[in-house]
Amino acid sequence: MDSLRPGRGQRSRRCSESPPPRLRRGIEQFNRGEFYEQHETLEEEWLAERDPVRYLYQGILQVGVGFEHLRRGNPVGARALWRRGISYLEPFRGGCMNVDVDRLVAATERCLEELERVGIERFDRTLIPRVEWLD
């Protein structure tokens, strides 16, 4: 399957660049809980990008869509999207385009554990992470 996704699983040389405007906008939407909107914004950036950095965008997008599934009461969808998002983000651990990838992955893993532990009805919504910037 990765042959159909060139660059998947690779870190990008572009990680040292500043985040493009659509990435910034998508993260702002994510952080406001606008998970459907962040999906639309980051999908535009992901589809326009050919470099492996596109999987940073896709990973954030997938994690956000997982929180939309949580909001809609779909724990199976939430877990699946969080796991897929984390897998896209793995090569960018340590940060990419000033995004604190490690913090987002750790917070999403905590959400996975919490959802497994208490179920969707008792899930602590204060655990929903923000995407943070590195200093």
d(CA 92, CA 55): 9
Residues 6+ apart with CB under 8 A from 17: 97
d(CA 124, CA 3): 39
Helix or strand (DSSP H, E) at 131: none
Q: Is the dihedral of CA 5, 40, 77, 131 positive or negative?
A: positive
Q: How many CA atoms lie within 13 A of 106 on its CB side?
A: 8
What per-residue confidence (pLDDT) applies to 6? 59
Model confidence at 17, in pLDDT bands (50, 70, 90)?
very high
63-116, pLDDT tens digit by residue?
999 999 999 999 999 999 999 999 999 999 999 999 999 999 999 999 999 999
The average pLDDT across 28-47 equals 97
User: CA distances (Å), 59 to each of 118, 120, 123, in order?
Assistant: 25, 22, 22
- Proportion of the chain above pLDDT 70, given as a percent: 95
The answer to whether 93 and 102 have CB atoms below 8 angstroms apart is yes
